[in-house]
Amino acid sequence: MRRRRRKSSPTTRPDRGARRAMSAPSGETDSVLEGKVVAVPETRQVDVLANLLERRGARVLRCPLVGIEDSEDEPAVVAWIDRLILRPTNLVVFYTGEGVERLAGFAQRSGRAAELVAALARTPKLARGPKPKRALKKLGLEAEYAATEPTTAGLIETARSIEAPLERVAIQLYSRDQDRQLVEHFLARGAD
């Protein structure tokens, strides 16, 4: 029995020429994108993607669809930073690089940047993936633990392997409606 290949939609899969252009060495320009206009709806990596396309001859329209903003509850964020600075913590968990950078920004604006970095330097850190690890590195810090996979389940699996007592754990959450599974895991272990 012969299977028919499903044709992919031109909106979801680039044609052969476009794929060839995207994989061309960075010094070469493939004219297949010359004269084409490409919309890039990215927010954080917009310049990286736009430059890649422009090097291949495309004219790029940057049109970020999602914006990332600081928390509106600045006093709560600063209070979280103060608790981290003033009370010894056994572990800090970072979900996102953006979160690390936003916390550093709040600390800077509130005059607590050096204290935050010092507190993080003396506290073991668990990063969900490469982005929080990179953001910590920008602050001169390293994550002692990395999630086995960049998911909440990966964070929980890694946390289970940490043998040190975890009475006080600080977690950088990324949204109010975020899955509370990680928080519940640490509460079940007796963390504050």
Averaged pLDDT, groups of 10, the chain, 192 residues long? 42 46 53 87 83 91 82 91 94 95 96 98 97 97 97 95 91 80 91 85
> Does 121 lie in the same domain as 44?
no
| DSSP H or E run through 60 | strand 59-62
Q: Is residue 144 part of a domain?
A: yes
Q: Is residue 7 part of a domain?
A: no
Q: What proportions of the chain, in percent to the nearest 5, are helix, strand and coil?
A: 45, 10, 45
Q: How many domains does the chain have?
A: 2
Query: What's the confidence (pLDDT) of residue 28?
Result: 55
- Structural domain including 63 reads 32-67
Query: What's the confidence (pLDDT) of residue 151?
Result: 93
Query: What's the confidence (pLDDT) of residue 179?
Result: 73
Task: Tell me how crowded residue 172 is: count the other CB atoms within 10 A of its CB.
Answer: 20
> Does 176 lie in the same domain as 106?
yes
